[in-house]
Structure 1
Amino acid sequence: MERFVDEALVLSTVDYGEADRMVTLLTRQHGKLTAFAAGARKSKRRFAGALEPFMYLRVHLVETRGSTVRLDSTDILAGYYAARQELPLIARALYAVEMCRELTRDHEPHPELFALLEEYLVRLNAKEAGPTSLLAFELSALAHAGLMPRFDACALCGGEPGERPRFDQAHGGAVCEPCGVRARDAVAVPAALLAGLRALQEGHRTPLAPELRAQARGILNVFIAHHLGRRLKSVDFMAQVGLD
């Protein structure tokens, strides 16, 4: 059995048996891994305070015969403790890690996505990531996963979206008004919303107005749920907290 060390962000954990824990990690070099941490809920020496969502760790792992690896020990590199003190920051962090967990497959390296998530958590912890920053994170994460929605042109005909565009998750983004007639699930969206989301895709961090932000949240939730086959659980938590 091969032993290896990697950096990892904790995506989620599930208690297993009386003392163990299954941990989903996004590692820098090996992608998403499911790790078995024997005695994790009792061991204060190896895992104390480490196996919580969005912790940044150095992990000591052992390959096993199945797809699950064994987690032997951890070193905490960053806990993002400031972000854990405010409910809105916790909600955004949990949404970000759940999204990364659902967008990736086991054992497929995603170094760019790892760096993106790490950077976002650092900004959350420093209280430098506002509501629009979460939209920018989502769009970048979708791009890394090969699911980037299109806002610059009609996803069906390639023409200009026009002054009365629509958004259709099934066809991958904006559609012009004539094509929207053929896209049964397309919903009308303001042209200003497409322009704002396109700017975020291009790396511009200009904050969106609250109304546009709420509309952006709505269409991205639908787009992500369509491609994943389910709605992310943390969407409801953000709504309960009062976040758009």
Structure 2
Amino acid sequence: MAMAANETVRLRTVRRTYGTGDAAVTALDGVTTSFQTGTFSAVMGPSGSGKSTLLHCAAGLDRPTEGTVLIDGTDLGTLDETGLTLLRRERMGFVFQAFNLVSALTAEQNVSLPLRLAGRRFEPVEIRAALAEVGMADRARHRPSQMSGGEQQRVAIARALISGPSVVFADEPTGALDTTSSRGVLSLLRDLVTRQGQTVIMVTHDPMAAAYADRVLFLADGRIVGELRDEISAEAVASRMAGLETAC
């Protein structure tokens, strides 16, 4: 399965089933879609729609029961666990709701952690530049307990970007933040896409968060049931979500 030149991630007829026999649950039901390079995509759907499963399969955190996932032209299904780990380390960045910072480490130590784990040489100036990029240069020596939730998420984004990934996967990145902090983090992600051409795929339940994206993909019962593109508003997203939830 070839990828178009402007695609970073492609899924083809991806199915993910958990359990067997009468107890089997289909979380993804033959999903085919792609995510273009340098775009910000939001994935939404009612609870149990498969949105998190889609992200996990796209990122190689979970293996599809059937179908194909490509990242930068590499078929994830051809890789063993070591190969997947290396691909995630080199090509992907991750931002989670819970921040996942190491509490004993400073901001700069948390950001440099992926490089240390990969055995890559780096200069302190690189880490400071990454923190400056997310507005956290003055918090380099602070530990997570000394930072607000929004600040911790900015450090987590710097950590996700330090390896120069092809794609950043964000799973409910504003779920634990207040409105003001959420807007700051979303504006940062939006700016990374617009200014640096970063590719971001975000799972969210929040129409306000989705409104920062170039494209909103809607799932229901493990299938893609629609999308919005261009001039996306929180109101339009909320209306579409209300329709899906009523149908469920």
Query: TM-score if structure 2 supplies the norm length?
Result: 0.29
More RCO (CA 8 Å, sep 6+)? 2
Structure with more of its chain in strand, by fraction? 2
Query: TM-score if structure 1 supplies the norm length?
Result: 0.29
